[in-house]
Amino acid sequence: MTDVDTAALVLRLALGPMLVTHGLNKIAGAGGLAGTARWFEALGLRPGRWHARMAATNEIAAGSLLTLGLLTPLAVTAFVGLMVVAAFTDHRGKGFFVFKGGWEYVAVVAAVAVGLAVIGPGQASLDHALGLHASGVGWGLGALAVGLAAGLGFLAVFASPWAHRRHETSAA
């Protein structure tokens, strides 16, 4: 294995399991899925129970794919989308530093994930074993662009004032 392959493996094993753990925590953490649903409602993501399930599923799936180095550009796209939503819901308005609740952490996670799309998952990956060689600047920029669009599109549909009015009207 080359130095780049080793670096890719280290980054995948740092980011992938971290995101899987975040997803599992949404389901089985202190407040469980119900607590996550209440938190999501407070963030403006309604209905919270649906969003909690979808976020947990997406985090577990994207984290698992990245850990395994399988369909890496797709995993990175999901990472970017998830981090965009987190930045605009939970971290918005809290400044840069994560210790103050800011967006520093989600920006670094997304940037490192995009870096992995550029360098590829390395030899110790399922992508390599299956002969999938989807990496490079184009793949990184594509994952970034699609992830940004997906995250912003999600926010436009589910976290906008219009979406809140639609939910409140349908609940009445």
Judged against a pLDDT cut of 80, whether residue 161 lies above it is answered with: no
Give the pLDDT score at 104.
96
Q: Tell me the average pLDDT across 152-162.
A: 83
pTM confidence score: 0.90
Contacts of 84 by beta carbon, 8 Å cutoff, 6+ apart: 106, 110, 147, 148, 150, 151, 152, 155
| Cβ 36 vs Cβ 75: under 8 Å | no
Query: What is the number of structural domains in the chain?
Result: 1
Host domain of residue 126: 3-171
